[in-house]
A and B are shown apart, each in its own frame.
Chain A
Amino acid sequence: MIEMKDQKIDELKEYIAATQSNDNPESYLIAVLHKVQGLFGYLPREVMDVVAKAMNIPTAHIWGVATFYHYFNLKPVGKHIVSVCMGTACYVRGAGKVLEALKKNIGVEIGETSEDKLFTLQEARCLGACGIAPVIMIDDKIYGELTGKTATELIKKYRKAAKG
């Protein structure tokens, strides 16, 4: 486990080093944060210190940036990310009901992770599949034309697969 983490940190350091030879190196901060999230699934506190040092940017500034953008997770996420589209087309076709049903079934509010660490519930804005609204995305798979009931069934399926 520790070794894997070290490996990831090495990869991150290499990535940062490559950006530092460009003009305006500090402008790559957001790209670096994307890299961190890609490696760890969220932005761990201790890794931010590594970034601060390697990029020569104060940690406080990095947190300021990280908290500004919705895309970055500041807490560890569950095994599956469930994003409910709350874009306009989905809203008009009843995304609100889908969201309510999922909140109830998973037992969390938006942005939270279930106790069994299986699901993190998120809101998304237009997944570009308005034609089959309302839509949710589980990890990178899109499911459309849902109702509260069919959405709950999907979650049950994932839950079963994780257990079995």
Chain B
Amino acid sequence: MPNTEYIITLCDGPSCIHKGSRTVKDALEEAIAKHNMQDKVKIHLSGCLGMCSKGPIVIVNPGYTIYGSVTEADAAEIIEQHLINGKYVTRLVVDEDHLYNRFFRIFGDNDFFGKQMRITLRNCGIIDPENIDDYLSLRGYEALAKVLTELTPKDVIDEVKTSGLRGRGGGGFPTGVKWDFTANAPGDERYVICNADEGDPGAFMDRSAIEGDPHTILEGMAIAGYAIGSTKGIVYIRAEYPLAIKRLEKAIEDASKNNLLGDNILGSEFSFDIEIRLGAGAFVCGEETALIHSIEGSRGMPRPRPPYPSVKGLFGKPTLINNVETWANIPVIILDGGKWFSSIGTETSKGTKVFAVAGMVKNTGLVEVPMGTTLRNIVYDIGGGIEGGGKFKAIQTGGPSGGCLPEEYLDTKVDYESLAAVGSIMGSGGMIVIDEHSCMVDVAKFFLEFTQDESCGKCTPCREGTKRMLEILTRITQGKGKPGDIEKLERLGTMAQRSSLCGLGQSAPNPVLSTIKNFRQEYEDHIFNKKCVAGVCGALLTYTIIEKCVGCGACKRVCPTNAISGTRKQLHTIDQDACIKCGQCYDTCKFEAITKA
């Protein structure tokens, strides 16, 4: 493409599509055609760039100018002003603060990206994920070539060990050590698996990593194949991610055509194939032994470990399982060295971590930061603070296996040990900001409903324990909580933590126990004072009509039990005995004349 002068990257993630990125694309193409610039300008569609709340995002290169909230009408202006007249369309530029970051040069100086450090997502949004040449042009498959020509399998494992990389799937097990175990386990055949099941219901970094840069994952897996002596890789991915699956298929096909997968890779003795297997919607299948059963075509139930998969895994053979994000770090470690990698992060946790920041925060999206960044940095500096003017209440990390931390823990550094020390976990990287409008008992109930539903039912503490706990929580939110309920929850929770077979049951009580620890007052308010301060638990609320009422009668018409009375243009009243607390009147009133407390 010798004539190309500009590359325009357009985010094609779900949030941007929803906000109209596809029509922006059409408009850009139209403007380009109008000025006869088809040869000079190339449009890339990228996976989610992680700036969801500022979408649709358009990036013009060279220059790394990021435009946000671009509309169809703005498209022509960007082409004419920026590309033809060489001037920025200032009002659309996403650029708030000037912070230079050498790792993130490519996205220019701006707050959202400037405070991040992208290693895992280094190519996401920069390359065309469906074009292998793009990946190759950014040192793609160079790490694989390097290991095949310069390093012994042991050298590779040592490099990964030196890097200090730990598993990003939640457990945080040292990756190099796991590779070593698998390499040394007796057996004639070995498997390499990529865990792309991404079960945390509020996290989507694995999906974005695959959609934005699928070859990195394949390259990481092939390197591991060489290191541990395996010829067969499998990506186990959720069926709910059709675009990621399609891009992986294309990447595997292209890599095979270029002899970067398949027999005698790059003319070496090493052969390696990768196959895709689909999950089918079971959270527990993210657990490694359950995942293996699922690939084998059975019900995805965990089994006791040891033996660990590294010794006895898929089809009984030694198997290496790593998470998507873990894989994405491998090529960088090989190219830039384990020593460099270990210079980033904290004493015990090296490198960066991707978080999916969402909930009541201004900038929702994906954020990649060095380990050791504080929660406050993530929520306020990168996330832009609380959305909608509410007050910060808690941050939930680690999804259904994690905990809720209140304000006083905001200066906690994100690394495996620090988060565990305050009663939460790193988990896979879901991070949900909760404001004063959420009830913490209800939040705990929400997570427990999830884990209870997903418990595979194999062992009693998990199956029955979560059910009993859910019953108690439900009772509390309905205003029927009894003295002693909190203690009962604690007892049941500790029991499930100690005696469940797999991580699901062992961690299911965490959201409950951490909210009891940090927000005990809210539980007590529900049980003893029959109050829900956040105004969420319907049964505990009283709806009252106040002076502001103009007597329009709108509430009267929607009330399903006819509990509201009053004559036209007069103050109305609610009969508290007849009120079923459905809240419809509250939602209907246009004059804020109904209060709930």
Q: How far is the CB of A36 from chain B (nearest CB, A)?
A: 12
A129 within 8 A of B: yes
- Knowing A27-B296, A34-B278, the reply to whether A89 touches B239 (Cβ < 8 A) is no
What string of 1s and 0s marks CB contacts (under 8 Å) between B369-383 and chain A?
A: 000000000000000
Q: B280 contacts A88, CB within 8 Å? A: no
- Knowing A71-B239, A132-B18, A144-B18, the reply to whether A92 touches B280 (Cβ < 8 A) is no
Binds A, one of B146-154, B202-210, B550-558: B202-210
Q: B446 contacts A126, CB within 8 Å? A: no
- Knowing A88-B358, A91-B446, the reply to whether A69 touches B281 (Cβ < 8 A) is yes
- Most chain A CB neighbours (cut-off 10 Å) among B202, B208, B297: B297
Q: A30 contacts B278, CB within 8 Å? A: yes
Q: B15 contacts A131, CB within 8 Å? A: yes
B277 within 8 A of A: yes
- Most chain B CB neighbours (cut-off 10 Å) among A93, A128, A140: A128
What string of 1s and 0s marks CB contacts (under 8 Å) between B536-579 and chain A?
A: 00000000000000000000000000000000000000000000
Q: B297 contacts A92, CB within 8 Å? A: no
Q: What is the CA–CA distance of A24 and B189 in the complex, to the nearest angstrom? A: 14
Total number of residue pairs linking A and B with CB closer than 8 Å: 127
Q: A131 contacts B17, CB within 8 Å? A: no
B432 within 8 A of A: yes
Q: A142 contacts B17, CB within 8 Å? A: yes
Interface size on A, residues (CB 8 A): 38
Q: B201 contacts A88, CB within 8 Å? A: yes
Q: What is the CA–CA distance of A59 and B398 in the complex, to the nearest angstrom? A: 39
Q: How far is the CB of A139 from chain B (nearest CB, A)?
A: 12
- Knowing A92-B438, A128-B14, the reply to whether A34 touches B48 (Cβ < 8 A) is no
Contact of A89 among B17, B202, B241, B456 (CB under 8 A): B202
Residues on A with C-beta less than 8 A from B446 are 88, 91
- Knowing A130-B358, A131-B55, the reply to whether A92 touches B299 (Cβ < 8 A) is no
A60 within 8 A of B: no
Closest to B283 in A: A125
Listed A/B pairs (15) with beta-carbon separation below 8 Å? A26-B296, A30-B277, A31-B278, A34-B280, A65-B298, A65-B299, A69-B300, A88-B396, A89-B432, A93-B360, A126-B200, A128-B48, A140-B242, A142-B18, A143-B18
By a beta-carbon cutoff of 8 Å, the part of chain A in contact with chain B is: 24, 26-31, 33-34, 64-65, 68-72, 86-89, 91-93, 124-133, 140, 142-144, 148
Q: Which 9 A-B pairs have the closest CB atoms?
A: A131-B52, A88-B202, A89-B358, A69-B280, A71-B281, A130-B358, A125-B201, A29-B297, A70-B281
